[in-house]
Structure 1
Amino acid sequence: MPIPPHNRRASGAVVAALGAAGLIVLAVAPAAFGDGTAPELVVGGVEPIHGLKPGGTFDLPVTVANKGVGTAETVWVSYSVTRGLAFVDVPSNCRVQHIRSYDEMPENWTATCTFDQAVGPGVVYTPEKPLRVTALDRAFHDRLRVRVEEGGAPMDDENGEPSVPGTAPAVKLVEQPAGGEGSAKRVNVSVTSVNTADYQVTGAALRGRVGDTVTMKVAFANAGPAWVLEGDEGEQGVQIMITPPAGTSVVKRDYYCHADGGKYRCPAHVGMHMAEDAQMGYTFKLKIDKRIAGAKGSIALSTGPRPFDHDKANDKADITLDVTGGGSTGSTGGSTSGGNGSTGASTGGSNGSTGGSTDGSGGSTNGSAGGSSSTGDNGTTSNGGNLAETGSSTLPITGAAAAALVAGAGTLLIARRRRARNQS
């Protein structure tokens, strides 16, 4: 039954009153929980470190302060370093965990130290012996994170291996003169080392007859000794530029690569870092359209500052093509590598992991850099037809349009005949 108008107004008043009461409760709740009696821990004394050499060490003179009113009965301090750094002589009241790389986070090690002692307000503490860190042979641009919290030690990161306790004597927090306290629960700084990394590419030698589809496998690698973490200290991401040989068209591109004019632009790695001795492979399917004397493509690093890479001779490599048997011979013109501006929809290509890639057609891996070619699956394409990746779809679309036109004309003719019968 509909509610009379006066009842509706009454109901609205009740709802408004309840809403106001709810707002009052929400406004009061923060005051009840934030009464100013809780401890407020902050960490300090952590500064960026520059100019290390592989094998060098440094100490972490961390301070812990309580800027709140209440006392923290137990605290823990967590130190995290990226893969170019390592902890030395970890105390037994600390646990060390190796955390694998996941998402875009690089591999790192974490040492979490628990101090079962009270930290009173207004007092600055520091571990009686600072934690020591060493720079490994692969150190270059690394990150150091320090965090402090109240209570018992946190659980292990689910992406890492089980943590293990340190073997050095346990340490405790000791009071120090006022000053040097930080202002935040966590601090993130950079640690740089003097080191180099050699980026290099490997080309391929292709061979086949006119009309064949061949597999092209090329590669990029970081020969070390340093690993590279992009985004720190102005390091910019490198791109790989692949130009197929003239006289060929791209039937299937690598999954991670995209057409850029007559070339293909590919990432050097998946994520924000490149480990030392890591490799990224790129697999393409090329159709040999015609024989062109001296046809040659290339794989090259994008231009850009890489002050850590002193060897520029291996920044570019050739992709050669030997066309066997008969077939027409064209002039040494531009490559028909296809797909100017086309990004395709290939599901094959490299898997982005260290040590190789798949060509997306049969699960085979490219564990070694560059090299051999193979023939087969003539005319196989990524769009299900026999057209190369040149963006050409004129014939299928024209056929569909013609079919639609015929069907429409037939429908119109039938309608006219029915109208004529009805009028007669």
Structure 2
Amino acid sequence: MPRPDRRASRASRASRAAVAALGAAGLIALAAAPAAFADDAEPDLVVGGVKPVSGLKPGSTFDVPVTVANKGTATAGKAWVTYAVTRGLDFAEVPSNCWTQHVRSYDEMPERWTAVCEYDRSVQPGALYTPETPIRVKALDRALDDELRVEVDWNAPWPDENGEDPVAGTAPAVNLVETQTGATGTKRLVDVPVTSVNTADFRVTGAALKGSVGETVPMKLQFTNAGPAWVRNTTVKVVVKPPAGTSVVKVAAFCRADGHVYYCGMRQPAYNEGGQENYTFQLRIDKRVPHAKGSVALSTEPRPFDPDKTNDKADITLDVTGADPTGTPGGTGGTGAPTSSPTSSPTGGSTSGSGGSAGGAAGGSSAPVDDGTTPPDGDLAATGSPALPIAGAAAAAMVAGAGTLVLVRRRRNQNPS
């Protein structure tokens, strides 16, 4: 390659120095930018005047008095106030400067309706404002334990992506007016409870099982909220006790075992008026137990909204058909746990369960309890006994191999050629 010209090299060096100087100046400007932006004033809107509501009756209405204040140092060009209510409430009428949206339940959030109102006026720092006509909310027939949320912003909020298409209000538009009365809030968002005088009837449905010994049958149970109200805050569970002489081989969804009792939860839609949750267990009939009966019941947490306790518990009956087959393993005497099975022992004997305890002839023992959630182990993991003959066979093979090796070496010594 030809040698570069000296002048060109000097020019190139000068150009590179200029670029470096510009870059340094840019970095200094960027470093100073946050301080400059930090000095820019912004509005800081807060909402007030929102209070809890109680003692409503289905079909009644109430107004939502709201104040808007600006705690910042800059004027807000507009204000948006968002009202949100849970599914026991709705908006009686919506002004035309507002839009509403129905949002389905997701991520532990309850179903709700929102109304977003745009107020086209400036909000000055230190001043207090209120809608000239408050928005009105009504209690539906399913109202009981609801919630009202009010939020203010100086930027336009977006519709919830999990909701339906927004719908414009049809009532006359409402303006935001300055006021000298009302409480000034301290937060941008406020949640308050709204309770109504109403009831909800939680109930359970049992099952009538039928089958022969050794057969696996489905056990279908049900929880229902017969209404008329929906329920938002509750920890009620469904408690299942299988009939005696049976064992659970498959547990229903939303259920967990605690010994021989199963505690079942449910999804939020089951708490809605008319909502249901179904539980299907797979139950093996281990033995015939006279008059065997299980139960399904609601847990005992206080439920003041549910005065009818007559349907909080139901029976699970079992009709064992046919004669007990020969060699049928014994049951657990009412525990609902699986029983032991006759299996060969290393000494040629057998084991047998009897009433859930070690029984009978030499070496007999009961099987471990299985709640239907753990798969059975193999023979080696369950007892350990098959490992003895396997180990003996391996040792015999090693001795035989060693004898063969000695014999081959002796023959080689006798016949060196």
TM-score under structure 1 normalisation? 0.74
* Alpha-carbon distance change, 339 to 277 in structure 1, aligned in 2, over 3 angstroms: farther
Question: In the TM superposition, what are the counterparts of 1:14-413 in structure 2 within 5 Å?
Answer: 30-35=34-39, 37-152=41-156, 154-177=157-180, 180-230=183-233, 236-267=234-265, 269-271=266-268, 274-327=271-324, 334-338=333-337, 393=377, 395-397=379-381, 398=384, 405=391
Secondary structure of the corresponding residue to residue 198 of structure 1: strand
Question: In the TM superposition, what is the alpha-carbon distance from 1:175 to its structure 2 partner?
Answer: 0.3
Q: CA deviation at 1:124?
A: 0.7
Secondary structure at 2:323 match in 1: coil
Q: Distance in 2 between matches of 1:415 and 1:78?
A: 87
Structure 1 distance, partners of 2:130, 2:274, is 39
Residue 338 of structure 1 deviates from its aligned partner by: 2.4
2:235–2:301 CA contact under 8 A, matched in 1: no
Q: For the residues of structure 1 that align with 2:253 and 2:389, how far apart are their CA atoms?
A: 34
Report the alpha carbon displacement of residue 32 of structure 1 after superposing the two structures with TM.
2.8
Cα RMSD of the aligned pairs, angstroms, is: 3.5
Output the amino acid matched with 2:379. Answer: L
Q: Is the 8 A contact 2:50 2:66 kept in 1?
A: yes
Q: CA deviation at 1:401?
A: 5.3
Contact 1:128 1:171 in 2 (8 A): yes
Runs of 4+ in 1 over 3 A off after TM superposition: 23-31, 328-334, 386-392, 398-421
Unaligned runs of 5+ in 2: 1-24, 340-369, 411-417
1:77-117 CA distances to partner (integer Å, 9 max, x unpaired)? 10000000000110011000000111211110000001121
Is the radius of gyration larger for structure 1 or structure 2? 2
Report if the CA contact (8 A) 1:262-1:339 is conserved. Answer: no
Distance in 1, Cα, partners of 2:208 & 2:40: 72
Following TM superposition, by how much is the alpha carbon of 1:151 offset from its aligned partner in structure 2, in angstroms? 2.6
How far, CA to CA, are the matches of 1:97 and 1:38 in structure 2? 29
Distance of 2:389 and 2:269 partners within structure 1: 50
After TM superposition, give the deviation of residue 226 of structure 1 in Å. Answer: 0.9
Q: Measure how far apart 1:331 and its partner are.
A: 10
Paired position in structure 1 for 2:14:
none
* Aligned partner of residue 379 in structure 2, secondary structure: helix
Counterpart secondary structure, 2:68: strand
Q: % of aligned pairs identical?
A: 56
Contact 2:49 2:183 (8 Å CA) reproduced = yes
Does the 8 Å CA contact 1:243/1:298 hold for their aligned counterparts?
Answer: yes
- Give distance in 2, aligned partners of 1:246 and 1:45: 60
- Cα distance, 1:141 vs structure 2: 0.6
Q: Does the Cα contact within 8 Å between 1:247 and 1:295 map onto a contact in 2?
A: yes
Cα 1:90–1:388 change in 2 (3 A) is: closer
Length, aligned pairs only: 352
Q: Is the 8 A contact 1:104 1:272 kept in 2?
A: no
The aligned residue for residue 363 of structure 2 is none
Match in the other structure for 2:348: none
